[in-house]
Structure 1
Amino acid sequence: MHWPKPLSRMLKNTLSKSIQYSAEILHSRILYSNDNPYLDSIFAPQRQEHFSTQLMVEGQIPAELDGALMRIGPNPILVKNPRNYHWFTGDGMIHALRLKGGKAHWYKSSYVGVASVQKKLHRPLIPGKTRGVADAVNTNVINFAGKIWALVEAGAYPVEVNSKLESERHHLFKNEEDLPFTAHPHVDPETGDIHAVCYDALSQNKVFYLHIDSHGKLKHQVEFPVKHGPMIHDCAITKSQVLILDLNVNFSVRSALKGSMLPYQWNPKRQARIGVLPFGGKVTDMRWYEIDPCFIFHTVNAYDLNTGDIVMDAVVHSKALIRSIQGPIEDQDIRLERFIFEQGTGKVTRTVLSNIKQEFPRINEAFIGRQYRYL
């Protein structure tokens, strides 16, 4: 059923507010430890933004490195109830280290200036339209189309950030479309184009594939139907195709009503599948491969074989986001796997490459979508 846009928007807003209100009411009723590992030790938030030019260096910095090394992560300004804080929902903070001529020139940390952050810090709102059920932008920072972007999944627009780490504007690059984006797009090293698989937490029945050219203009989009509101944190690309991960962590109203600020939960009953869509293809060109239940936060890489088959390497969780409302602390059997998708038969072969528990895999990005050797 298709609702008129104003009514559809109103229903989404009502659903969002209802879930948030119900979660807040039930916070005090949750029987959960006050200890939260995502507010302690290496996860403990910085209490303020920093800038320093007095940096101590151990060892030697290669003189060839010239640029800013950046990372982003959740850094909550205020946590009212630690037992209900979820790692994925904290206010975003970007950290940057400027390297040049074998020296570390400065370090700076700065909050991503979304509305909730600016209000807490009593700062003016940044321009640009906003969208999504929540505004925390805290998951990835990339350099694309000559600009720096802070990213998150589930609906919010990217935030453009300048070289001083000042947030400048919310927008979907050079586009006016009302579309969600993702925390983990992939840039084709030959074309500079970006490929993204995006979902909106308020629309559990559809997901978008976006192909954006190297200048930031939307080149192609495909909307395809899904069930159960899957969390799709990452995707993978080859030279010619995109892989969509429709797996076993799904939107859960029950989780929201229990007080979770991130209402996604392990769902072993649904059929896990991975879709393959050619660049420029239509929804009818999608090929789905069914696999055993699992979840993938991060892929490593994917590439085409001469046979027409596809290889994808990824860090696989046999179960994820099971019960905890604080983060993936209970995730089980995390391993590095290789998937081979046979084009002719529709068969998927899975091979464990390493049983060492791991996450956040990285490769040389010049080999994205290409056969590679080092991880």
Structure 2
Amino acid sequence: MDNRYLQGNFAPVTDEVTAFDLPVSGTIPDHLDGRYLRIGPNPRLDGPGAVDPDGYHWFIGAGMAHGLRIADGSARWYRNRWVRPEGDELAPNTNIVQHGGRTMALVEAGSPPYELTDELETVGRCGFAGDLAAGYTAHPHEDPTTGELHALSYSWTRGNRVDYSVLDTAGRLRHQVEVEVHGSPMMHDFALTEHYVVIYDLPVTFDIDMVAGKMPRPLRLPARLALNRVIGRNPLPDALVGAMARGNGAPSQLPYSWDDDYPARIGLLPREGNSADVRWFEIDPCYVFHTLNAYEDGDEVVIDAVRHERMFATEFTGPYEGLSSLVRFTVDTVAGKVREHRYDEHAQEFPRHDERLTGQRHRFGWSVGLDGPAPGDSVLKHDVVGATTLARPLGAGKEVGEFCFVPHADDAAEDSGVVMGYVHDRVTGLSDLVLLDAETLEDVAAVHLPVRVPAGFHGNWAPTAS
């Protein structure tokens, strides 16, 4: 087996573990009271639902949630649990957030979110998912002013339509708008500003042959003809599309690839507008998985994001097509043009900001340095005003996951707090939850786990409700 996304720290763990009273180096700030939650793929390699190692794509693995409870300066427990979906649905594996008093495991492309208990046991589908035409997203953004959760959801079953939705503070669906895009793109993230939803319509698109090619030979031509009706036009009935997507078993391949002929553009949708109100602005071909933050500056919309030159053009098991860098897209709404500026040359991903400033002007951001297709050993802090980047290597043999920011207090300065995330040690084969000072990136504390947390996706701090 030579699939890199099934080896090293990408390899799945086989057991669900519960551990209490974990050892800590350094000092956990007393004010931290909550759970650090993170999720990622943890595929089964044998038995029912096992993936095909040769064609396995990292994004497809069954979801496993990891949680660490912190209170009173101590690490009370660690748990990892598979997300257990209904029937043959894809288990959410991409993000885990707390909203409206619920813990939600999320994935994109039409699959519904699932609610988890505080101890990460699966409850079932979130109730609002039945109201959403395209399932949900892996990357909702909470408006810090209203507390509402905004999302942009896509699915190839929806053809050239994506859905913008807003959940109120109780988790009820308040607003939903259907938006027409160019074709059937993969939209992993979006951005939110005071007045706009920022839409990335970029050249990673649904690939018909990846689905129809796996069908039994007599069904391939009819499947292609049927799927061609979906792409860029009207969706087919969900039951028919679902049957074609499932093919002969559990999916292992992500049916999206780079399309040189697809135009790259950024759209600005007024928050209370509809599809006809979107303004589109062309940019150079690229792909964006993750936004750091966005805001408005007079007639301009400023978007800081990690830009990839291309994606899924030659590598179809995971997101590695060369350099990725932090850039600023400045949309001039008067001139109708977009300027692009690269901040530095660090290969990186998983950009995060102080989420008290979502949609507002920010100065700082944090991300993870990459070493080829794998996480590197460095945490990066960007000062987008001072145009500087501070890199903190955590040491040889370390692999750093996404770090998120937690302020010391509600009214603390933008970088007054800690950033936290899981770090794997290749020497010991175990992982720690590491807390760094957000301003200096110096050590604050490390919680030592008795297990390995595989390389995964997104993590968030979920404070205990007061």
Place the TM-score, normalised by the shorter chain, in its bin.
0.7 to 0.9
Kindly state the Cα deviation for residue 226 of structure 1 after the two structures are TM-superposed: 2.3
SS in 1 for 2:59: helix
SS in 1 for 2:347: coil
Q: Distance in 2 between matches of 1:240 and 1:113?
A: 38
Which of residues 268, 274, 294 is equivalent to 2:266?
274
Which of residues 26, 32, 44 is equivalent to 1:59?
26
SS in 2 for 1:154: coil
Check 1:109–1:322 CA distance in 2 against 1; reply closer, same or farther (3 A cut). same
Check 1:231–1:172 CA distance in 2 against 1; reply closer, same or farther (3 A cut). farther
Contact conserved, 1:204 with 1:227, CA < 8 A, in 2? no
Contact conserved, 2:134 with 2:158, CA < 8 A, in 1? no
Kindly state the Cα deviation for residue 373 of structure 1 after the two structures are TM-superposed: 1.1
Check 1:275–1:198 CA distance in 2 against 1; reply closer, same or farther (3 A cut). same
Which of residues 310, 316, 334 is equivalent to 2:307?
316
SS in 1 for 2:25: coil
Partner of 1:196: 151
Kindly state the Cα deviation for residue 64 of structure 1 after the two structures are TM-superposed: 1.7
Matched, 1:37 2:1: no
Which AA in structure 1 matches 2:14?
A: R
Kindly state the Cα deviation for residue 54 of structure 1 after the two structures are TM-superposed: 4.7
Q: Distance in 1 between matches of 2:287 and 2:133?
A: 28
Q: Distance in 1 between matches of 2:129 and 2:110?
A: 17
SS in 2 for 1:58: strand
Kindly state the Cα deviation for residue 175 of structure 1 after the two structures are TM-superposed: 5.9
Larger relative contact order (Cα-Cα within 8 Å, sequence gap ≥ 6): 2
Q: Distance in 2 between matches of 1:201 and 1:136?
A: 18
Check 1:199–1:80 CA distance in 2 against 1; reply closer, same or farther (3 A cut). closer
Q: Distance in 2 between matches of 1:80 and 1:352?
A: 38
Kindly state the Cα deviation for residue 62 of structure 1 after the two structures are TM-superposed: 1.7
Partner of 1:82: 53
Matched, 1:333 2:304: no
* Cα-to-partner distance string for 1:319-375 (whole Å, 9 max, x where unaligned): 11112231113x222110001111111110000012210001111110110101110
Partner of 2:40: 73
Contact conserved, 1:238 with 1:370, CA < 8 A, in 2? yes
Task: Report the structure, 1 or 2, having the larger helix content.
Answer: 1
Percent sequence identity over aligned pairs: 42
Matched, 1:301 2:301: no
Matched, 1:153 2:108: yes
Contact conserved, 1:194 with 1:211, CA < 8 A, in 2? yes
Partner of 1:374: 364
State the TM-score, normalizing by the size of structure 1: 0.83
* Cα-to-partner distance string for 1:100-129 (whole Å, 9 max, x where unaligned): 111111100001111358xxxxxxxxxxxx
RMSD: 1.7
SS in 1 for 2:118: coil
Contact conserved, 1:95 with 1:107, CA < 8 A, in 2? yes
Q: Where do 4+ consecutive residues of structure 1 move more than 4 Å?
A: 257-260
Matched, 1:357 2:347: yes
Q: Distance in 1 between matches of 2:44 and 2:143?
A: 36
Structure 1: state its 5+ residue gaps.
1-33, 118-133
Which of residues 305, 315, 338 is equivalent to 1:348?
338
Kindly state the Cα deviation for residue 176 of structure 1 after the two structures are TM-superposed: 3.5
* Cα-to-partner distance string for 1:140-183 (whole Å, 9 max, x where unaligned): 00011111100000001110111011111213538634442100
Contact conserved, 1:256 with 1:262, CA < 8 A, in 2? no
Partner of 2:73: 102
Task: Report the structure, 1 or 2, having the larger strand content.
Answer: 2
State the TM-score, normalizing by the size of structure 2: 0.67
Structure 2: state its 5+ residue gaps.
215-251, 366-466
